[in-house]
Amino acid sequence: MKGIKSVIGLLLILKFSEAAYNCSYQTGICSVDKQSISASEPFVVNRENASSVTLLVLSDGYMPQPPPTIFTKYPELNLLSIANMSLQEISSNVFTNAKKLISLLIMRGQLTTLNNGTFSGCENLQSLQVTNQKLSSIDIMAFQGLKNLQNLYLSNNQLTFIHPLVLATLPKLMNFNIDYNLLTEIDSQQFISNPVLYGVNFNSNQLKILPNNLFQAQKFLGSFYAADNQLITAQSFGASYVDVKNNKIRNFTLSSGESTVHIQNNLIRKIICSSTNLTVQRFYADNNFLTNFLCIRDMVNLTDLSVVNNKMPRPTKTPFLKLTKVRAFQMYNMTRFSTVLPKVFSPMVSLSNLRVDRLAAYKNLNITLPKVSILALTTTTWNCTYLSSVNSILKSQRIILVFNIGSDRSRCTL
């Protein structure tokens, strides 16, 4: 009888040590690398130190389901990262004891859904990342209990839709990122319960339209990204940083409060400004169909302006009268003119970096445009003798010649 008991005891010890995963310590992080972790074994790590585990990183191994004992054994965990572990499913009791958890990173796996209540024990969680998975659905109550969550990252998944109630349990949400998914629409109530939302990323989805009142619950937005979608119309929502490049936008509406705006590679014919208080400082509108400087000409604090490849006619001074802070201006590859008179830029008294196709004259630029120190030209088809003479004229005025496109410097050995 005694013998049998000790055999069983020995078996238990063997079993136990089998399930103890090697953990290498680097700067306080317990890293369990390239190991198979079973959901049915108790989760224990072998480590050199007796100090409690607070940061745990599981990577490049195999763990289709996390063992529910992670947090019963290590309730002090602040950070848990699960990356490239072939994760397929998270059972409802995994995070029950995760009261101290602040960051949870679940990256590169095969999760297809997030179930109701999965994170309900994570009352102190601030950042949740479920990225590079195969998520195609999220239950309405999946984020229930995350009353302190500030950052939610769901990029690189297969989500086509997010129910408007999914984010309703996140009163402190500040940053929401759903880049690289398959969203076709966003509900106007999506962010109604997230009053402190500050940064929103919708890049690389399939959105055609965004509701006008999408950010009705927010007083102020820090950044708004919706690049690489199918948008046909867009507005800035007054975000300080706006990026809607690479869409099919025809009309773009600015309000007030923006500082940087990216609208390149669209079909914009017209910018609509709904306010006279235009706060934009950096405006990038290359590759559109703009025919005039309406709105742009009233951006009194503009420092960087780029309208490469648009349809404006040869400009006069008039649109630039208020643009006294512009330091960098790009206006080359214009379809309706190539040569421009230097003096049209003279109202831009801060201009130091000018990129055009060609100027009508290169002498006395140091008087007409005294701050210009870099001049970029599109000289691809120029006669090298001529280019050389322009280069010396610029040099004598301490202006550096650079090239917009092509490799003229080597073609013409300046």
Give the binding site for ligand NAG (CB under 6 A): 22, 25, 34-35, 48-49, 51, 60, 84, 108, 116, 139-141, 232-233, 250-251, 256-257, 270, 277-279, 300-301, 308-309, 333, 335, 366-367, 383, 385-386, 396-397, 405
In the complex with ligand NAG, the residue whose CB is nearer, 80 or 83, is 83
**Residue type at position 366:** N
In the complex with ligand NAG, the residue whose CB is nearer, 69 or 306, is 306
Query: Helix or strand or coil: residue 241?
Result: strand
In whole angstroms, the minimum distance from the beta carbon of 124 to ligand NAG comes to 23
E strand or H helix that includes residue 368: helix 365-368
E-strand stretches of 194-335: 199-201, 223-225, 233-235, 241-243, 251-254, 260-262, 270-273, 282-284, 304-306, 328-331
Residue ranges of alpha helices (H) inside 19-103 are 70-73
In the complex with ligand NAG, the residue whose CB is nearer, 16 or 386, is 386
User: Measured between alpha carbons, how far is 73 from 324 in angstroms, rounded to an integer?
Assistant: 64
Long-range CB pairs of 3-8, under 8 A, 24+ apart, other chains included: none
C-alpha closest to that of 286 among 308, 262, 268, 314: 308
In whole angstroms, the minimum distance from the beta carbon of 253 to ligand NAG comes to 9
Residue ranges of alpha helices (H) inside 129-212 are none
In whole angstroms, the minimum distance from the beta carbon of 302 to ligand NAG comes to 9
In whole angstroms, the minimum distance from the beta carbon of 5 to ligand NAG comes to 29
In the complex with ligand NAG, the residue whose CB is nearer, 270 or 411, is 270
Q: Do residues 302 and 323 make contact, with C-beta atoms less than 8 angstroms apart?
A: yes
In the complex with ligand NAG, the residue whose CB is nearer, 216 or 277, is 277
Name residue, tokens 């937005």.
221
User: Measured between alpha carbons, how far is 13 from 342 in angstroms, rounded to an integer?
Assistant: 85
In whole angstroms, the minimum distance from the beta carbon of 2 to ligand NAG comes to 32
In the complex with ligand NAG, the residue whose CB is nearer, 86 or 216, is 86
Sequence-distant (6+) residues with CB within 8 A of 345 are: 320, 329, 351, 354, 368, 369
Q: What are the two backbone dihedrals, phi and then psi, of residue 384, each rounded to the nearest 5 degrees?
A: -65, -30
In the complex with ligand NAG, the residue whose CB is nearer, 27 or 410, is 27
In whole angstroms, the minimum distance from the beta carbon of 1 to ligand NAG comes to 34
